[in-house]
Structure 1
Amino acid sequence: MYAILDIETTGGKFNEEGITEIAIYKFNGHEITDQFISLVNPERDIQPFVVKLTGINSNMLKNAPKFYEVAKRIVEITEDCILVAHNSSFDYRILQTEFNRLGFDYKKKTLCTVELSQKLIPDLPSYSLGKLVRSLGIPVTDRHRASGDALATVKLFKLLLDKDSNKTIVRDTVKKEQPETIKPKHLDLIRDLPNITGVYYLHNANGDIIYVGKSKNIKNRVNQHFTGTSKKAKHLQKQVSSVTFEACGNEMIALLKESDEIKSIKPYFNRALTRNVFTYALYKFTDENGYINLSLDKADGRKKSITTFTNKQSGTHFLEKMVEDYNLCLKLVGLERTNKACFNQSIKKCIGACIEEESAETYNKRIQELIKKYSYEHQNMIIVDRGRTHDERSAVLIKNGVFKGYGYFNLNHQINNIKILETIITPMENNRDTQHIIQAYLRKHPKLKIIPINLEA
C-alpha cells in the first residue's frame, strides 16, 4: 500500500518551514482507497514568492486547523504505507520536522517519483512535476496546490508501475510489507483479489516472483492454484507467501504482459511455459504463373510467415474463412489438391484463378489485402481496446511493422501525438510470440479499432 502525498509550505529557512496545505491519497497500486486534503495553519509568515506561486495566503489559513489537529489523521492514513512523492526527500523531511515539534518519532519507507522517472523514462529534458506530466500527456488541475500535484503524482506513479518491467517496485514493496508472523492462509491471500482480466504474480517470503499467470478472472484462477492437488500445485502452494496483480483491461494486453514477463523474470514455476505458443504458420509463394499461393505448414522461425496459429485446425479454419471473405481459390490456398479446377470453380464460387481464367493481377490484389490486414507488415498503427477503467483505453503500438509496446490513455491527444504516445508506451520485445498474440487477437476481434499513424506528425 502506498500513501502518495504533496505538501505546500511557507518557504523560509531550512527546517523552519511550516505546512500550509497537505494532500494524501492512499493507493493500492490500482486505485485510490482513501484520501485526506486540508489547509494547515502554519503559525508563521508565508514567503511572498510562495503566495504568488500557490495562491495560498495568511487570510486563507486563519481558521485552518493547526498541524497538531491533523497529525492523528496523517498517522492513520499513512499507517502500513510506503510514502510516495515527487522529490520525496523534501515532503518526508517537512513531515518529520512537524512531527518532531510534537515530540513524535515519525518514520516511513519512501519512494521518489523523480528518481523512478529518471530510471524508467530516461532522457527527458526535465523531471520537474509540471514539465514531466505535460510530456506524458497527464492532465493537471490546480498546479502548485497540494491536491492537484498529489493527484498528478498518483497518475505518474501508476504509469511508472506499468513501465517497471522488472517489477522492482512491487517486489520491494512486498518484501517490506511481509509480516514477521505466521504465514497467511490461502483464503486470506485471495480474499481481496478482483474478478477482472489481468496478470497476477505469486511471491515467496522474500518477495521474489515464483509464478506469473494471466486470467480473465484473477480471483478464480489464483483460487484454482491453491486448490490444485497435483504435485506441482502442492509444491507451489507451500512457497506462496503473497499475491499481487495488475489490471490489464483486455486479454491482448494480459497475454502480451504475461509472455514478456515470463521471459524477463523467468519465474521458477513458469519454466514449462517459456516455449512458443504457436505451432503452425501461414506462408506465401508465387507459382510459375504469377499467382500468389498460400501454404499452411509447421512454424519455422527461419522462414517469414504471414501469421501464426496455435494448431493446424485453427489455421485451416482461418483459411476456410478467408476463401469466403476474399473469394479465394481453394487450390491456391492449399485446401484442395488437384491438377484441374477447384471445386468452388465448378459451382461458380471461384472466379477461376486455378485454371487461369482470372488474371494473376486481380487475384493477387485480394491476397495482398488479406496479408496487409493480418500480418501488419510495414504498417504504422495503434490498436485500441478497452482500458482498466470505463474512461480509459489501451493502445498497442506497431511501428514500421514492429510491435513496440503498450500503454493506456484517457485523452485523445495522448495518442494523436506520436512523441507523447512513445513516452507513455511500456516497451516490449518484438518476437514471434508477441506477433502471434497480436495477430490471433486481431483475427478473433475483427471489429477492433485500428488507427493508422503518421510518423512525420
Structure 2
Amino acid sequence: MYAIIDLETTGGQPANDRITELAIFVHDGQQVVDSYTTLINPGRSIPPFITQLTGITNDMVADAPRFHEVARKVVEMTEGCVFVAHNVRFDYSFLKKEFADLGYNYSRKTLCTVRLSRSLIPGQPSYSLGKLCQNIGIPLNGRHRAAGDAEATAILFDRLLKITQESDAAEANAADTLARVDALAPAGRKPETTEKKPSPRRVAAMAQAIKTALLPPLITPEKVAALPQETGVYYFHNEAGEVIYVGKSINIYKRIQQHFAVDVKSRKSLDFKNSIANITWELTGSELVALLYESHLIKQLKPAYNRAQRRSVFPAGIYLKTDENGYKCLYYGRADARNSEIPIIALGNQYKAQGFLYHKVAKYNLCQKLCGLYKTQGACFDYQVHRCQGACVGQESPETYNQRVDEAIDSITYEHESFVVIGSGRRADEKSLVVVENGRYVGFGYVDETFTARKLADFRQAVQPYADNKDIQQIIRQHLRTRRKGEQVKIFA
C-alpha cells in the first residue's frame, strides 16, 4: 500500500512554518482506493506571497481544523503504507515536525517520485511536478493546491508502476520465446540459447526506490557505496560540474550518509539536495589538514551552499592596544574587512567576545575600564569592590599590570610561536605536516615517513604555502587543545 501525499505550507522551513492544506491518496498498487483532503488552520498568518502562489487565504483556513484535530486521520490512513511524494523529504519533514510538536514520533518508509521518475523516465528536461506532468501528458488541475498536486502525483506514480509491469511483461515474453525455441531443438543437441532469469518484480523495483529514497535524485547507490571511509574533504557538484558544497570528515562515507539522512529544514536545503549530481573527494589523512584545507577551499571556491566560512565564521575577536599611559588594553570588537587588525582570538559574535573578555578580566584581575567593559571617567566598579588593583586610576604601575595582561594573552594564543604538527598521512608510509612560524600559519604538506629535519626551514620547504587568517588560527588553536593520539608537535625556539 502507498500513501501519496502533498502539503501546502506557510513557508519552506519545517522548523518554523506550518501546514495549511493536506491531501492523501491511498494506492493499493493497482489503483487509488481512498483519498482525503482538508485545509488546516496553521495558527498563524499566511504570508501574502504564499497566498499568491497557492490561492489559500487566511479567511479560508480560519474555520479549518488544527493539525492535532486531523492527526489521527493521517496516522490511520498512512498506517502500513509507504509515504510517497514528489520531493518526499519536504512533505515528510513537515509532517514529522507537526507530529513531533504533539509528542508523537511519526515514522514511515518513504519513496520519492522525483527519483523514481529519473530512473524510469530518463531524459526529461525537468522533473518538477508541473513540467514533468506537462511533458508526459498528465493533467494537473489545481497546481500548488494539495489535492491537485497529490492527484497528479498519484497518476504519475501509477504510470511508473505500469512501466515496471511493461518491463516485466516484455522480459517474460522474451523468456517464453526462448523456452519454445529450446523445446524445438533436436534431441541430444544443446540449445544455443540460454535461459534468462526472470526480471525483478515490481515489488523489487519499489523496494529499491524505497531503499534509495534518502539519496539525492541524481546520486546512485553505487556512487555512495564507492565513498571512502577515510579522512579528507569532499565536494558536491551540480549537473554542470560546479562545486556547490565543500565538507570534511574523519569518515567521508559516514558523513555523507548523514547529509542525506537528515530531514530537510527548508526549501533551500531541498534545492541543495536535489542539485547534487556528483561527489568527489580528496583524502588528507590528518583531521587537522582536512579542517585547514576545507577552510581554504570554501574561501577560494565560494560554493553556493557553504555560507559558514565564505567570509569568516568568527566575525568578532579580542584585540590588544597600548594606551597613552603605557597600559596594555585588551578589548573586543568586530573582526571583518573594516578592521585591519588581526585579533588575538576570533569568536563567533560580539556577545561571545564580550563574555570571553569578562572571563579573562576576572581570572587575571584585569581592569574593566581598560578592557572597555566599564564606561566611566573615574575608577571601574571592580576597583570599588577591591577586585581591580587600581590601574584605572593610576595606582598600579603599567609594568605590574601589563605582566598580568601578558599572562592572559599567553592563555589564548599559541603556546609556542613556531612549531610543526606532525600527523597521519594519506598512506601508511606518509606523514602530514602543518607549519606555524612566528605565530603565523605557513601551510601544510606531506613527506615520506623517512623524512628528517633539524631546522624549521626544512619543514617550511616541505609544505605548500596557504594564507593565514583568523579562521585558520582558531582551527589550529582548537585542535592543539584536543589533538589526536599519535600526533606530534615539534617546537622551535
TM-score, scaled to structure 1? 0.48
Which protein shows a greater Rg?
2
Tell me the TM-score normalized by structure 2.
0.45
